[in-house]
A and B are shown apart, each in its own frame.
Chain A
Amino acid sequence: DAGITQSPRHKVTETGTPVTLRCHQTENHRYMYWYRQDPGHGLRLIHYSYGVKDTDKGEVSDGYSVSRSKTEDFLLTLESATSSQTSVYFCAITGDLATGQYFGPGTRLTVT
C-alpha cells in the first residue's frame, strides 16, 4: 500500500470556523490531490498539486484553499466552514498516471 495518511480522520466543527486537513505521503510522489465524496456524486476534485508550491483548482474549489510547502505534505483549508462542506475528504497521490492514483483513508468532516 502507498504510504499516505490523512489527519484528522474525523472532525466535527461549527459553521464559520476554519478547518485544515492534512495529507502526508512517504512515496515522494510529485502529484497530490484533494477530493470530496458525496452520495450520488462520486469523487470530485477540489484542488491538486504538481509540485512544491505548485497548485491548481479542480471542479469544486470554491470555499477551499490548499498549500504545499514540502513534497510530503498537502494541506486543505476551509477558511469558513459551511454545512455544504460536510463530506468525506480523500487525498490521493501519483507519480505517473499509468500507475493510477493512490488514496488515503479519508477524513469525515461534519459541519454543524
Chain B
Amino acid sequence: AQSVTQPDIHITVSEGASLELRCNYSYGATPYLFWYVQSPGQGLQLLLKYFSGDTLVQGIKGFEAEFKRSQSSFNLRKPSVHWSDAAEYFCAVGRTGGGNKLTFGTGTQLKVEL
C-alpha cells in the first residue's frame, strides 16, 4: 500500500527566507507525486506534480520540487517566501489504475513571520 509522511507538522519562516517542506513516500513502483496548498477556509490547489522525466519540477507561485528515488522523497522548495505563502501544504502519492486514487500526507502548516 502507498503511504506519505510529512514529518513537520508546523514550520515558521521569515519572509524572504528560503523554504523546504519535506515529503517521504512509500510505493513499489514509480509514483505519481503531487503537492497541494490549502489556504484557510479554501479548497486544495495543485502546486505541482511529477510522474516522469526531469526530476526537478516547477510549479505555480514560484515553487519547485525534486524527486529523489533513492531517498523516496519529493521535497517542496521556494527560494524566497512571501507572507501570502502562509497556508497548509499537502503532499500526495498516487498510482494509475484502481481508480486513480491519491494518498495524502497529514500536512505541514506554514507560518510566515514578517
Contact = CB atoms under 8 A, between A and B. Distances in A.
Pick the 6 closest A-B CB pairs, nearest first. Answer: A97-B100, A42-B106, A103-B43, A42-B104, A103-B44, A43-B104
Interface of A: 31, 33, 40-45, 48, 50, 56, 58, 90, 92, 94, 96-106
The residue in B44, B45, B51, B104 that gathers the most chain A C-beta atoms within 10 A of its C-beta is B44
B51 A98 contact: yes
Contacts, number: 55
A105 B99 CA distance: 22
A90 B32 CA distance: 21
Given A42-B107, A43-B90, A58 B44 contact: no
A43 B38 CA distance: 12
Contact of B99 (A31, A40, A99): A31
A98 B107 contact: no
28 contacts: A40-B106, A42-B104, A42-B106, A43-B44, A43-B90, A43-B104, A44-B104, A45-B102, A45-B103, A48-B99, A48-B101, A50-B100, A90-B43, A92-B44, A97-B94, A97-B96, A98-B32, A98-B49, A100-B46, A101-B34, A101-B100, A101-B102, A103-B36, A104-B43, A105-B42, A105-B43, A106-B42, A106-B43
B101 A45 contact: yes
Most chain A CB within a 10 A radius of its CB, from B46, B90, B96, B101? B101
Contacts of B103: 45
